[in-house]
Amino acid sequence: MNMGKVYLVGAGPGDPKLITIRGLEALQKADVVVYDRLASPQLLRHLKPGARKIFVGKLPDKHMLKQEEINRLLVDLALEGHVVTRLKGGDPCVFGRVGEEAELLAAHDIPFDIVPGITSAIAVPAYAGIPVTHRDFTSSFTIVTGHEYNNKTYSDIDYEKLASATGTIIFLMGVANIENIRDQLLRCGKPSSLPVALIRWGTWMEQETLVGTLATIVEQVREANFQSPAVIIAGEVVKLREKLAWFERKPLFGRRILVTRARSQASDLVAQIDELGGEAVEFPLIHLRQPEEPAKLERLDAALRRLPEYDWAVFTSANGVEYFFRRLAQLGLDVRGLYRARVAAVGPKTAEALRERGLIAETLPAKYQAEDLAEALEPLVQPGQRVLLPRASIAREVLPEQLRRLGVEVTTADVYETALSDEYGAEVLAMLRARAIHTITFTSSSTVTNLLEVLGTLGETDVPRLLDGVEIACIGPVTAQTAADSGLHITHMAPEATVDSLLRTLVAGRTEAPR
């Protein structure tokens, strides 16, 4: 068997987007990933199909595996011929014990790469609005381990030199040792008024910041029951937080939001949640695909081959536009066959999708629902006219029925269908049970029913109880009604069936994130 290779990768401080490009590439190559608790679980979604995941995380009072066992595990996996990515929080070379892992790999002549990551020592204070240097305060900083090991081989921290040699002092892994750190700094001449901040779970949605001075910080930590993992930063730069605390001031900060729409539709919503300071967890419950049954395709193709006969083409979603043009291309048909037809669209996203393909939609109803579209079309269509309605196979019959009442001949063309997807289901269920999801967005009735079905197949017997306390945000009244009928309490309902309206509603109704 060929020798494998090991990538020793820094995952960054927690925000999954703070991993480096090279680190992400190493994840995508991996046959096996060995990871700890400070690496974002969302990074594991970048693994190739079939890649093995091994958790070796450490809690303050418990190790899944001892460091020596982790070292040996990496060697054994590489000797078996695997490409292994060792994913470590922060930077692997800053108290990450990467040297020990690399030494054993080198001893066995196993090739390895060390991929640096963004260390929490710098990134976490930055996310709390505290740059570690500033020309008005200090031009130097020191990173120190705040956790003392009785059996360590390196010398004790020289606090006297530390206190006099640098402006900003950053302690990692030091919450349990905060009283000793305070005492040592005071003993070595640091003033009791020196600003101190502790940032817990920095760059995550759980980020909390505690600000005090050397005189007050120990009591503050006790009163707040402030726990690890946290970065401690002592220095005048802490004063800048009052002006620069950018991350915690974003409107959706602290909200981890489950996005349940299909992956092909989710990018805009995910990007805007991120821009507003929230964390989007994608759970694509719906997989979109072209109809697969021969009889359905025959009906679709027959409808599309009659393009010159239609007086109207009415599109009810951007997906309908995408799959309509996809099937036209497969059939070798020209959209110019619609030369006689006027075009209508439900909502601006659908209209935009049409514009990108050279078609201008005439009708944009105010609320973007099928009922509104039928009402808007009523004074425009004439009895006897022919309407093509490209849509999803599960679309409601409201629009074609109302149009037929007007004496219009309607041809429905099921250009795509939805299939249930349970990818990441176990991960999402675990997050819901741990109360790590704060908000769930539903963008269609099928996302509601599919979520309940997926959670049920995973063994959750009382989904409404599981979601009690989780904000439920629906894109419009039809989706909201489906959620309510399923026993869910609706927290937010967008007045318009658009992503922008949904986000505005979330921001307007934002409450403090659970802690």
* Domain final residue, candidates 419, 454, 484: 419
Do 274 and 309 have their domain in common? no
Q: Does 161 lie in the same domain as 269?
A: no
Which helix (H) or strand (E) is 453 found in, with range? helix 445-457
Q: Are residues 414 and 295 in the same domain?
A: yes
| Nearest residue to 300 (alpha-carbon basis) of 277, 326, 336 | 326
The whole-angstrom separation of Cα 369 and Cα 352 is 17
Pairing of strands 342-345, 312-315: parallel
Q: What is the pLDDT of residue 205?
A: 94
Q: Which domain holds residue 502?
A: 256-285+421-508
Q: Are residues 387 and 397 in the same domain?
A: yes
Q: What is the pLDDT of residue 422?
A: 80
Residue matched to tokens 């002549």: 109
pLDDT recorded at residue 495: 87
Domain boundary among the residues 91, 118, 145 is at: 118
Give the CATH number of the domain where residue 376 resides: 3.40.50.10090
The dihedral through the CA atoms of 9, 11, 13, 19 has a sign that is positive
Characterize 275-291 residue by residue with b for buried, 16 or more Cβ atoms within 10 angstroms of its Cβ, and e for exposed: ebbbbbbbbbbbbbeeb
- CATH classification at residue 68: 3.40.1010.10
**Phi/psi of residue 500, each to 5°?**
-60, -45
**Torsion of the alpha carbons at 264, 268, 271 and 273, rounded to the nearest 10:** -110
Q: How far apart are the first and last CA of the chain?
A: 50
Q: What pLDDT is stored for residue 346 in this prediction?
A: 82
Q: Please indicate, yes or no, whether residues 425 and 415 belong to a single structural domain of this protein.
A: no
Check whether residue 368 and residue 431 sit in a common domain. no
**For tokens 């967008």, what's the residue?**
494
Query: Both 236 and 262 in a single domain?
Result: no
Q: Which residues are catalytic?
A: 36, 58, 173
Taking the CA of residue 136 as centre, how many other CA atoms within 13 Å lie in the half-sphere pointing to its CB? 6
The gap from C-alpha 237 to its chain's centroid, in whole angstroms, comes to 31
Co-location of 32 and 138 in the same domain? no
pLDDT at 514: 35
**Residue 99 domain-assigned?**
yes
> Hey, what are 106's tokens?
């080198």
Note whether 266 and 282 are within 8 A (CB). Answer: yes
Asked if 389 and 360 touch (Cβ cutoff 8 Å), the reply is no
Q: Is 514 inside a domain boundary?
A: no
Q: Are 213 and 182 in contact (CB under 8 A)?
A: no
Strands (E), 99-219: 112-115, 141-145, 168-172, 195-200, 208-213
Task: Answer positive or negative: Cα dihedral of 495, 451, 38, 51.
Answer: negative
Shared domain check, 500 and 452:
yes
Which helix (H) or strand (E) is 480 found in, with range? helix 477-485
Closest by alpha carbon to 166, among 114, 230, 233, 213? Answer: 233
Give the pLDDT confidence score for residue 498 in this predicted structure: 82
- pLDDT tens digits, one per residue of 414-434: 999 987 878 889 899 999 999
Matching residue, tokens 């935009």: 352
Residue 504 lies in a domain: yes
- Assigned domain for 176 exists: yes
Query: Please, where are the H alpha helices in 166-216?
Result: 178-187
CATH of residue 136's domain is 3.30.950.10
In a domain, 513, yes or no: no
Side-chain half-sphere exposure of 462, counting CA atoms within 13 A:
3
Q: Do residues 296 and 264 both lie within one domain? A: no
Among residues 75, 79, 23, 27, the alpha carbon closest in space to that of 52 is found at 27
Nearest to 166 by CA among 231, 218, 237: 237
114: number of Cβ within 10 Å: 19
Q: How far apart (Å, rounded) are the C-alpha atoms in residues 205 and 436? A: 9
The answer to whether 342 and 312 are in contact (CB under 8 A) is yes
Helix, strand, coil shares of the chain, percent, nearest 5, are 40, 20, 40
Classify residue 298: in a domain, yes or no: yes
Q: In sequence order, which residues have a C-beta less than 8 Å from that of residue 49 and are 6 or more positions away? A: none
Q: Do the domain assignments include residue 164?
A: yes
147 and 224, same domain (yes or no): yes
- Cβ-in-10-Å burial (0-12, 13-18, 19+) of 169 comes to buried
Averages of pLDDT over each 10 residues, the chain, 515 residues: 91 95 97 91 92 81 77 96 96 92 96 97 98 93 76 65 87 92 93 97 96 97 95 96 96 95 74 94 87 93 96 92 96 94 87 93 66 81 94 86 92 90 87 95 89 92 93 91 94 88 88 39
Q: Are 264 and 319 in contact (CB under 8 A)?
A: yes
SS (H, E, C) 27-66: HHHCCEEEECCCCCHHHHHHCCCCCEEEECCEECCEECCC
Question: Domain count of the chain?
Answer: 4
Q: Could you tell me whether strands 83-88 and 112-115 are parallel, antiparallel, or unpaired per DSSP bridges?
A: unpaired
- pTM here? 0.79
For residues 63 and 98, state if they share a domain.
yes
In a domain, 473, yes or no: yes
Per-residue pLDDT tens digits for 338-359? 999 999 888 888 899 999 999 9
